[in-house]
Amino acid sequence: MSLSSTGDAFARPARSTAAPRIGLTLFALAMGGFAIGTAEFAVMSLLPYFSVGLGIDEPTGGHVISAYAAGVVVGAPIIAVLATRLSRRTLLIALMAAFALGNGLSALAPSYSWMLLFRFLSGLPHGAYFGVAALVAASLVPANRRALAVARVMLGLTIATILGVPLANWLGQALGWRWGFGVVTALALTTAVLIALFAPKDRPQYGASAMRELGALRHRQLWLTLAIGAVGFGGLFAVYTYIASTLIEVTQVSPTVVPVVLAIFGLGLTFGTLAAAWLADRMPMASIAIILLWTAGSLALFPFAAGNIWAICVVAFMIGCGGGLGTPLQTRLMDVAQDAQTLAAALNHSAFNTANALGPWLGGMAIAAGHGWTSTGWVGVGLALAGFAIWLVTAWDARSRGSEAAAEA
């Protein structure tokens, strides 16, 4: 039985799979999200520290973040296509092992050039992991609960912004920025062990092939959905990348306050992920538009709130709520990708990390041009509204073709 109306996309687990076992599987998958989330967001919060350590300025340090994002963009589709004949459980274990290696090397990077390379390598497993983990999670539950199952995996990432990122930031201040990457390495190895213990054993999907996965690229709705994330999510990253520097330079708080604000952002991200999952199971297309408009409004408040610590805490929570965008986009891709589920799911994270490269790049350009740290908020507004414009095109295209997506919209 399929969770998608588009074909035999998901392999159901055996009926003997017990609820506690499903819970342990989702926990193991979420632990991988925790490791990846700590790595992805902690490096942004450590930007002021590793920039000094590597002898570069902060806008240049933003390229380290973009290098990781580029690794995700490149790695997700390549791994999804080349690993079609591996079982999902085996692939997830291998991806976490590779992620541990990349972050371990990042902790030892002797120079800026080596750091760029190691962050790129660290990003390669990211998209494929989340894509495959989302498919495994969705295969364990009924169709009307798949967004919530995907959200439970993504909660690992959001909780990382509450616990993992502040911890890594604290370690960066207390012991040196390299310890932040060391923590991620340990988390990734732990995840590989948990998946080996708890994830259901499966076989490669019948008929799986690189050509079948590449068939997803024929669908216009898939590309439009990916474009929403690639552009619309960039607004969040434009602000978050430089939020530690903004807090220190504009809000003028003590560095010890930075982890607190990062944790508040993480609380917003967690709440937003759960709320987005609830919406996505009820109104798949409309939920995407609601989140994009919420994000644009929240980012517009950022330049006005940056001068006051209480105001910026509230706005950081609001911006974090917009991070729930990933779940409705992930489940929509399950509907439009037909038989190429693995590639489509992985490409979702390529799209988000295109945003992770685009947002910091444009935000860094605005800062370097002399517009100040708070200018990242206006950059973010523009990106969120551009994502909404793409959503309008996507909805119009779906309706004009009389597709299933039109009925859901």
Instruction: Map 343-394 to HEC letters.
Output: HHHHHHHHHHHHHHHHHHHHHHHHHHHHHCCCHHHHHHHHHHHHHHHHHHHH
Chain position carrying tokens 């990916």: 226
pLDDT of residue 408: 47
Average pLDDT over residues 134-143: 81
Instruction: Map 206-242 to HEC letters.
Output: CCCCHHHHHHHHHCHHHHHHHHHHHHHCHHHHHHHCC
**Mind listing the pLDDT tens digit for each residue in 210-254?**
666 666 677 788 899 999 999 999 999 899 888 888 998 999 888
Average pLDDT score, the chain? 83
Nearest to 405 by CA among 219, 227, 130: 219
- Lowest-confidence pick of 264-268, 298-302, 352-356: 352-356
d(CA 193, CA 161): 23
d(CA 109, CA 272): 35
User: What pTM does this model have?
Assistant: 0.74
**Residue 78's pLDDT band (cuts 50, 70, 90):** confident
| 66 contacts 360 by C-beta, under 8 angstroms | yes
**Residue 2's pLDDT band (cuts 50, 70, 90):** very low
| 228 contacts 390 by C-beta, under 8 angstroms | yes
**Mind listing the pLDDT tens digit for each residue in 340-386?**
677 777 788 778 878 877 898 899 899 988 898 999 999 999 999 99
pLDDT of residue 215: 64
Residue-range domain boundaries for the chain: 19-199+213-401
More confident residue, 299 or 158: 299
pLDDT of residue 103: 92
CB-based contacts of 268: which residues, under 8 Å, 6+ apart?
A: 316, 317, 318, 319, 320, 321, 323
CA distances from 68 to 88, 298, 352, 399 (A): 24, 26, 12, 37
pLDDT of 96 strictly over 90: yes
Nearest to 62 by CA among 231, 239, 183: 239
pLDDT of residue 204: 64
Specify the DSSP class assigned to residue 339: T
Nearest to 30 by CA among 154, 130, 129: 154
pLDDT of residue 19: 56
pLDDT of 301 strictly over 50: yes
Topology of the domain comprising 19-199+213-401: Growth Hormone; Chain: A; (1.20.1250)
Average pLDDT over residues 110-115: 88
